[in-house]
A and B are shown apart, each in its own frame.
Chain A
Amino acid sequence: RTKTQNFCRNEYNLSGLCNRSSCPLANSQYATVREEKGRCYLYMKTIERAAFPRRLWERVLLSKNYEKALEEIDENLIYWPRFIRHKCKQRFTKITQYLIRIRKLTLKRQRKLVPLRRKIERREKRREEKALIAAQLDNAIEKELLERLKQDTYGDIYNFPIHAFDKALQQQDAESESESDAEKEEEDDEDMDKREFVEADDSELSDFEDMDKLETSSEEEEEIEKKASHSKSKGKTPLKGPARRKRPYLEIEYEEETEPTAKTKAA
């Protein structure tokens, strides 16, 4: 219902508005164009058949050809008022246009709307929350990482001793090492360690039991190592403990020598 006019609910209405001149019930001579299952028909109502409601509306099939159909409308509605003829043709045009659009759309991918069910959605959301709480993700991840550390998947990157027996001893050793002098010694050690590590370490496992350990080339390892040490110094410094602080410092020294090469390799 617009501000000035109502819409007519009758299916045979030509223009769609409800006024005296365009009501199919009020006028005894009326014509419309309607479409059924993709075919357009011209419906006509004349005063002679007003007594026979069953035969009131005369139906004419219009041809599929657009121009021919227009001609057919014209010849059927000859001697009818100009207004009705014009409106019929207009309506016919609109109908053909939207039929074409329908056909085009059905060829393209249609978006299928699947209705959500509120109750189910709520249930799922709740279950998800509970599953999240039950999962305790952080703990699980930490446990998994520690397990992998124990199983030596990381090789020798982390110099953590595995057995608790050695742990105390080596803690002392580590302390004495970190306290002691000779950065050069440490640097050498690290160089040595790194070189050893690079050549010895082949295995990088993922989580599955049927994984094979394959050998990777040592050159790649070196590249990765250099790149990574570069990034490590950039990375999470706030979380690194005091024992580690010396390492990045040293690594930077080591890196600056080789930085250009690392960059070229990365490029």
Chain B
Amino acid sequence: PPAPERVLFPPTFSVSEIKNKQRRHFMFLRWKQQQRKEKLAARKKRRKEREALGDKAPPKAIPKTIENQRVYDETTVDPNDEEVAFDEATDEFAPYFNRQTVPKILITTSDRPRGRTVRFCEQLSTVIPNSHVYYRRGLALKRIIPQCIARDFTDLIVINEDRKIPNGLLLSHLPDGPTAHFRMSSVRLRKEIKRKGKEPTEHVPEVILNNFTTRLGHSIGRMFACLFPHDPQFIGRQVATFHNQRDYIFFRFHRYIFKSEKKVGIQELGPRFTLKLRSLQKGTFDSKFGEYEWIHKRREMDTSRRKFHL
């Protein structure tokens, strides 16, 4: 049995200096236990102090979360920012927000979609009103885009597929609008969601966009808002949510009901998926000559755990 070690007695043998793995492991475990004991003791003491002080106790410390510690992004949108408001009034979504255009959406896939992707497309089209699913038998995107514009579509969604599951989403605002490329993960079809609701009706759902703080996030958020017609039919009681958290956008589709003034019940219907933005292009889809407004560069952008871009 190894000799017991007094911690905090100089010279301290740090646990990592012992060459023997077994002994080192043992020492480490012992050290861990000690730490835990100390922590527990400290917590108890603090709690006793708080009880003893009663009302005069200092307020509880706020735990540090990643959201709290987030590196401040200089492009965060201030709600009262005039420049941003002006930009938004003149950018590509202005006709939508001024109610000049009604969204009409084309959903398609990459070549040879497999069953899961096809079903996902169908469900997505029930969720988004005024959307049509078309199969793509080998048609080049560059050629269908002018056709879409001619037929008055406002948005194009392409769902990319890999190994029989959808894994990418390309959202492009048509009359020469920005194109966003997302990586899609954890797609759940309606039958996989544990719920007992019926399928989404034809009512225009409401839209909730959460947590899009930076400029980039703001423009992406507006892109999503453009998909849905402007006037939600509250009577349908459906809501589509795009929630951004740490650069992941979660999409959910619920039906809500107000049980009372302070309580609302939601029931999930409709598919769910998460998106992560990969790139944002200025014009419509063009992989070679497009002007990229933002690309996710792993080396530069993933350096800090507390830094997010959306």
Report 13 cross-chain contacts, Cβ distance below 8 Å, ordered by A residue. A120-B298, A131-B247, A132-B245, A134-B246, A144-B241, A146-B262, A155-B234, A160-B260, A211-B97, A214-B99, A216-B231, A231-B203, A235-B201
Known A208-B225, A239-B265; judge A144-B234 contact (CB<8 A). no
Contact, CB under 8 Å: B245 / A160: no
Q: Which residues of the other chain, A, contact B266 by a CB distance below 8 angstroms? A: 138, 141-142, 145
Known A132-B250, A134-B245, A137-B243; judge A232-B259 contact (CB<8 A). no
Contact, CB under 8 Å: B230 / A206: yes
Return the chain B residue nearest A113 by Cβ: B162
Contact, CB under 8 Å: A134 / B267: no
Q: Which residues of the other chain, A, contact B239 by a CB distance below 8 angstroms? A: 141, 145
Closest 4 CB pairs of A and B: A228-B235, A135-B245, A131-B246, A160-B261
A193 contacts the other chain (CB 8 A): no
The smallest beta-carbon distance between A128 and chain B, in angstroms, is: 5
Contact, CB under 8 Å: A231 / B236: yes
Contact, CB under 8 Å: B255 / A235: yes
Contact, CB under 8 Å: A144 / B208: yes
Q: How far is the CA of A127 from the CA of B232 in the complex (A)?
A: 33
Contact, CB under 8 Å: B210 / A144: yes
Return the chain A residue nearest B110 by Cβ: A111
A265 contacts the other chain (CB 8 A): no
Contact, CB under 8 Å: B234 / A145: no
Q: How far is the CA of A128 from the CA of B184 in the complex (A)?
A: 11
Select one of B201, B245, B256 contacting A145, CB under 8 A: B256
A149 contacts the other chain (CB 8 A): yes
Contact, CB under 8 Å: B259 / A241: yes
Contact, CB under 8 Å: B256 / A157: no
Contact, CB under 8 Å: B267 / A236: yes
Contact, CB under 8 Å: A210 / B210: no
Select one of A131, A141, A158, A235 contacting B248, CB under 8 A: A131
